[in-house]
Amino acid sequence: MWTRHPGRLLSLSLSLGSVQGVSRPAPRELPPGVSRRLYHATPPPPPPPAPSAIAQANPGENDTPTRTTMAETEPVQRELLPDDVLPVEYTLKLEPNLETFKFTGSVTIDLKVQKPVKALTLHSRQLAFDSAYIEADGVKQPVEGISTNVKDTTVTFALSEEVTAGKKTKLVVDFIGTLNDQMAGFYRSRYTATDGSARYMATTQFEATDARRCFPCWDEPARKAVFHVTIVAPKGLEAVSNMIEKRSVLLKDGRREVSFMPTPLMSSYLLAFCVGEFDFIQGTTKEGTIVRCICMPGKAADLQFALHTGIKATEFYNDFFNIAYPLPKLDMIAIPDFAAGAMENWGLVTYREVDLLLNPAKASQAQKERVATVVTHEIAHQWFGNLVTMAWWDDLWLNEGFACWMQTFCADAIYPQWALTEVYVSVMQSGALAADALRSSHPIQVPIGRAETVEEVFDRVSYQKGGSVVRMAYALLGRDKFRAGLTSYLNKHSYANTESADLWQAWEDASGQPIKDLMSSWTEQMGFPLITVDKATRAGGKVTLEVSQAWFLADGSVKEDDEKKQWVVPLIAGTSDGVQPVTYLKEKSGSIEVKTGGWVKLNFGQEIPLRVKYTPELLEDLSNVLPSLSPVDRMGMINDAVALSKAGKSSIVDLVNVMKGYKGEKNVNVWSQLISGFASLKKGLRYSSVDQKQDVNAAINRFALGLAKPIAEELGWDHKDADSDVTKRLRASVVSFVIATEDSDATFAEAKRRFDAYYADRANPLLHADIRNSVMKLVVRKGGDLAGTLRKLREIHDATDDSSLRRDLTAAMGAAPDKGALREQLAWITEGGTVRTQDMIFGFFGVAMNTTNSENFGKDVLKEYYATQYDALYSLVGETSKMIFASFVNISFATLTTEDEVVAMEKFWKEKNIEGISKTICTGMEEARSGIMMGQQFASSAAAKTSFWEGVSL
């Protein structure tokens, strides 16, 4: 159970480390139950590292510079620091100044010298060095020279004498750094205090290669060490880190020196600390671990949902892994400026505010599910990623793919009423299939030579396909063997580093099955198969299916050697008579015998990340029984139909015929796939050369509304007390779809009524979070007084600190049906000073998705902006976060409709010569060309004529 501790926030520290008789500044008045300093009387001490932890963390086999097991790639030379000297412990002291935005630091690194050296090379970036010396067996020797390599982000300390192996050696360095505004390293974040003033806090983001921006270190995941951290916090501010406080001393100048207990053995990218003024609430797991949710002052009331989820998730993982969470506390803190969604720092997880703060009374159901799954994702990492860490970045998926699936598995156990396993198939697995159907994709296990390039593979393949492959393993192994293998893997490799083969071995040992052959065929090569049923023969109550596998590509292209790709494919068949035993297709083709006299569905339960194409007869059988299939199988049917039509593997007419079978559909996750299907049809129309686009668009809308409007009218626009959570989400999806699709005066009048009521009274429930984005877009698009409407939306934006609402507002303004207004919108986003850098992409996305009059209306405005304002955009975003900037690169391709435009945009970006975006450029080009090809298919299909749609009946 979780509780909140009233009064001022006391330091969470060991009683022996508390400083008696020290007066502290009186806190401001706090809401009931919200604390200012953390307190727990006698937390357990941190666990010692595993007895052989250092030997495990730095084994010689982990230093191998090349990896040759990837099926489709040449060996890549890893750029690693020399292994002649390794870190054992860091003693780090930092003194941040939130007025000058500088920090001073000192670090003492206990070293294991394995070979004689006369120089030490560490990672360092944007640091200046005051002094350094080395101490070997108690004898100090000065450093003769300090040289930095900007390209390699290293610093080398030249020694006056050689240090031999086996000596007890320390490196001591004093340095100075900048609290940057780039959301990387040790950086500053701006927020608005309760009195309305602008203030700053300091925080960290070290993954993948930015610990070196804070202190000189061995910034590689296999170079695990113990960290002793001391922070000197400015007057009136607090400090938190991975571990609990050991001692806290008030200095004469009013600053506070806070020392923390040593961390377990861990990688440098997992170290974290935050300095600022904080509110928070806390609770305790049933095992006794303190879980705390921390935020900027005035927002603690919105932490309760995340705290409840965090406690339940920690308890769930303790039980499922059969390994207790190894630290005495788990903090989760909301950061105003944050590039990613969250970061799993061991014991101090950092989040974007929108992914931790939530008011259940005002939040949409989608927001609740987002916060819950982000929390469960990050807590999964405390075991899978932190306790056991990948040896190098080419196994990033071991962290992210596992956590991506586990977040749903855990959250579904906490909130079973949300049907989150369905959400996984609808969002995560479908996203994985879309991303991995491109030639610009990559294997889940992707060779990484230079660590700085790893940000490009923090993508849907590493996360969502990785998670889908883990989900496949769970389905094939079963819960008990899957779990036993994980527990064995985590126990064997605790505080150490691993590769994918170590996990395969654990599952093989637990199950007795040849897991490596199966899993490596899915992780060591890019892409996934299309299973085609070439022939179905019925006889004697059985159906024999002749099947073949081939690489599925979104554009349907075929090149030389494509046919060589093949997978070990589990075939799971469901029939009108039940589920059949799993069989495996290990060759390019084969047959499967199924006992049934009725319908047959392959990939039953959508357990395997692949696509299926049926014979016309089998497809008709399935179309006739769609309502009797499970929601995930109904999702799979429509998702495959959309993808096959886009790839030219089936016709657009076939897609429409499948969609007709969903009349009366009331599952929200199935509806998300139907909505994607309609979006695909309309994109094909926009990209086509059809003469009467507006008439055909109206015909598609009538078809869509024939499916959606009866459901929307039954649900209504307002939530009801008796509504379940999934009903609320169904309303959000279907009613929002109708609002966006129906061009009627009545729909607009209702949207306008609700918006006006909300503008007059922000507490008015008429514009609830589940429909507000669609309502605001419609009011912008059809409201008449465009300038006045945009002014009102910006006024609401600047007055709220609700991150989710600000995102919706920024995106909605992109629906303006005037190019001058869109230019003004982009200027307001980038120059107005009120939209955070991390949120600007939502405004650009709103403009990109503007399809006024069935055309890519925002395309010309975006192209013009990139051509004329590139330098300003790169300075604002590119120099801040390459991860965020990659989204701006990708979106520049999203609206291109001709090959000439794609080639010109490719040339534009390649001339910029920006490191770390080459994959994004390739992906953007391929997605644009896929859209162009679908436009060509649409133009040549019967669906290009209004007469076809007149014949479509429901």
Report the pLDDT averaged over residues 715-727.
Answer: 94
Can you tell me the distance from the alpha carbon of 530 to that of 533, in angstroms, rounded to the nearest whole number? Answer: 10
Chain centroid to CA 472: how far? 20
644: exposed, middle or buried (Cβ count in 10 Å: 0-12, 13-18, 19+): buried
Is it the case that residue 332 has pLDDT exceeding 50? yes
* Buried-exposed string 53-76: b where 16+ CB fall within 10 A, e elsewhere: bbebbbeeebeeeebeebeebeeb
Identify the pLDDT of residue 892: 93
Residues 461-471 have pLDDT tens digits of 999 999 999 99
Residues 510-552 have pLDDT tens digits of 999 999 999 999 999 999 999 999 999 999 889 999 999 999 9
Identify the pLDDT of residue 855: 66
Q: Indicate the DSSP class of residue 300.
A: G
**Strands 226-233 and 85-97, sheet pairing:** parallel
Is it the case that residue 68 has pLDDT exceeding 90? no
Q: For helices 500-511 and 466-477, give the axis angle rounded to 10 degrees.
A: 10
CB 462 within 8 A of CB 400: yes
Confidence of residue 411 (pLDDT cuts 50, 70, 90): very high
Is it the case that residue 56 has pLDDT exceeding 50? no
In the predicted model, what is the mean pLDDT of the chain?
89
Is 287 marked active-site? no
6: exposed, middle or buried (Cβ count in 10 Å: 0-12, 13-18, 19+): exposed
Is it the case that residue 785 has pLDDT exceeding 60? yes
Identify the pLDDT of residue 74: 61
Q: Look up tokens 């506390």; give the residue.
A: 329
**Strands 329-335 and 290-295, sheet pairing:** parallel
Report the pLDDT averaged over residues 881-887.
Answer: 87
Confidence of residue 194 (pLDDT cuts 50, 70, 90): confident
Proportion of the chain above pLDDT 90, given as a percent: 80
Confidence of residue 253 (pLDDT cuts 50, 70, 90): very high
Say which residues have a Cβ less than 8 Å from residue 885's Cβ, sequence separation at least 6: 874, 877, 878, 914, 917
Q: Which residues pair with 228 in a beta bridge?
A: 91
Q: Indicate the DSSP class of residue 255.
A: -
Could you give the C-alpha distances from 339 to 47, 294, 839, 879, in angstroms and in order? 32, 18, 9, 12
Is it the case that residue 67 has pLDDT exceeding 90? no
Identify the pLDDT of residue 826: 95
Q: Is the dihedral of CA 625, 627, 630, 634 positive or negative?
A: positive
Q: Which two tokens stand for residue 467?
A: 């998670």
Proportion of the chain above pLDDT 70, given as a percent: 92
Can you tell me the distance from the alpha carbon of 621 to that of 800, in angstroms, rounded to the nearest whole number? Answer: 53
CB 839 within 8 A of CB 857: no
CB 640 within 8 A of CB 679: no
CB 526 within 8 A of CB 443: yes
Confidence of residue 854 (pLDDT cuts 50, 70, 90): low
Q: Look up tokens 């400015």; give the residue.
A: 234
Residues 829-842 have pLDDT tens digits of 999 989 999 999 99
Residues 570-598 have pLDDT tens digits of 999 999 889 999 999 999 999 999 998 88
Confidence of residue 853 (pLDDT cuts 50, 70, 90): low
Confidence of residue 290 (pLDDT cuts 50, 70, 90): very high
Say which residues have a Cβ less than 8 Å from residue 100's Cβ, sequence separation at least 6: none
Can you tell me the distance from the alpha carbon of 113 to that of 166, in angstroms, rounded to the nearest whole number? Answer: 6
Residues 138-181 have pLDDT tens digits of 899 999 999 999 999 999 999 999 999 988 999 999 999 999 99
Confidence of residue 356 (pLDDT cuts 50, 70, 90): very high
Could you give the C-alpha distances from 17 to 1, 10, 13, 439, in angstroms and in order? 28, 13, 7, 58
* Buried-exposed string 197-207: b where 16+ CB fall within 10 A, e elsewhere: eebbbbbbbbb
Is it the case that residue 816 has pLDDT exceeding 80? yes
Of 378, 400, 452, 607, catalytic: 378
Say which residues have a Cβ less than 8 Å from residue 42's Cβ, sequence separation at least 6: 14, 15
